[in-house]
């Protein structure tokens, strides 16, 4: 009797089509996630590097009281103020001496805390006082300052505030200007130049219909007081829309 041959076992593929499909889908998903994370990480890194700055030069119309300003985005300090709007104030920052906003070329000036003399900060708001700093000197500040005065940098006259006044520790600088009100500046001077900040000195002036411009700068820039004041006035005036 002949024994029928034993059937050979069925040979199954090592990898089933279903497994291959699943593996391929997982690989594609992982690749997509990797690309997405890479792009998001790059954008997040750029955002963190900018620290709220923008290099955009898109112009915004900002209405403060009776005045209309047109400003590029990269000179506006705070992100929530970069919009065409009616506002109580707008905060700006500018490089010195170039008076430029934030850009790839000026990035290092905005990020280097060891160079406070590289930036000037401005705050533009509706006037709340009838007199600006020059107008307040004689009726208010002059009575709170010590005598005698001292010589200051670049033709300035220095007055120290009286120790029992509300301005104790501050220094006032003044200078006469032909055909214009006297220049007046308030400073809180650091003990050492290395401790200077971008807000050692401040001055405000009126401009436009009803605007007050307060600007701050490092005491390292005191020798340039005249140029700074003239350029701050012209910068704001040039951005007023008639």
- Would you list the domain boundaries of the chain? 19-50, 59-238
> In the predicted model, what is the mean pLDDT of residues 104-119?
95
Least confident residue range of 9-13, 91-95, 131-135: 9-13
Q: Report percent pLDDT > 70 for the chain.
A: 79
Of the pLDDT bands very low, low, confident and very high (cuts 50, 70, 90), residue 187 is: very high
Residue 43 scores a pLDDT above 80: no
Q: What is the pLDDT of residues 123-163, one digit of tens each?
A: 999 999 999 999 999 999 999 999 999 999 999 999 999 99
Burial of 210: CB neighbours in 10 Å, binned 0-12, 13-18, 19+: middle
β strands within 83-127, DSSP E: 85-86, 89-95, 119-126
Residue 44 scores a pLDDT above 50: no
Q: Are 239 and 69 in contact (CB under 8 A)?
A: yes
Contacts of 194 (CB under 8 A, 6+ apart): none
Residue 54 scores a pLDDT above 70: yes
Q: What is the pLDDT of residues 201-224, one digit of tens each?
A: 999 999 999 999 999 999 999 999
Mean pLDDT of all residues belonging to the chain: 88
Q: Report percent pLDDT > 90 for the chain.
A: 78
Rg of the chain over Cα atoms, rounded to whole angstroms, equals 32
pLDDT score at 35: 55
Q: Are 121 and 77 in contact (CB under 8 A)?
A: yes
Tokens representing residue 109 in the block: 């000036």
Q: What is the pLDDT of residues 17-42, one digit of tens each?
A: 665 566 666 766 666 566 555 554 44
């Amino acid at each position: 009797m002949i024994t029928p041959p034993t059937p050979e076992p069925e040979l199954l593929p090592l990898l089933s089509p279903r497994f291959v499909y699943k593996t391929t889908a997982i690989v594609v998903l992982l690749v997509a996630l990797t690309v997405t994370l890479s792009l998001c990480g790059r954008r997040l890194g750029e955002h963190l590097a900018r620290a709220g700055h923008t290099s955009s030069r898109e112009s915004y119309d900002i209405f403060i009281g009776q005045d209309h300003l047109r400003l590029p985005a990269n000179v506006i300090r705070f992100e929530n103020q970069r919009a065409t709007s009616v506002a109580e104030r707008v905060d700006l920052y500018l490089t010195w001496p170039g008076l430029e906003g934030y850009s790839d070329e000026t990035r290092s000036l905005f990020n280097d805390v060891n160079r406070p003399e590289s930036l000037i900060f401005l705050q533009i708001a509706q006037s709340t006082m009838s007199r600006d700093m020059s107008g307040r000197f004689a009726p208010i500040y002059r009575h709170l300052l010590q005598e005698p005065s001292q010589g200051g940098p670049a033709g300035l006259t220095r007055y120290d505030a009286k120790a029992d006044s509300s301005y104790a520790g501050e220094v006032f600088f003044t200078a006469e200007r032909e055909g214009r009100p006297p220049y007046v500046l308030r400073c809180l001077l650091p003990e050492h130049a290395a401790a200077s900040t971008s807000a050692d000195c401040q001055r405000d002036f009126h401009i436009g219909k009803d605007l007050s411009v307060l600007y701050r700068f490092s005491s390292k820039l005191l020798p340039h007081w005249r140029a700074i004041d003239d350029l701050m006035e012209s910068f704001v005036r040039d951005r007023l829309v008639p």
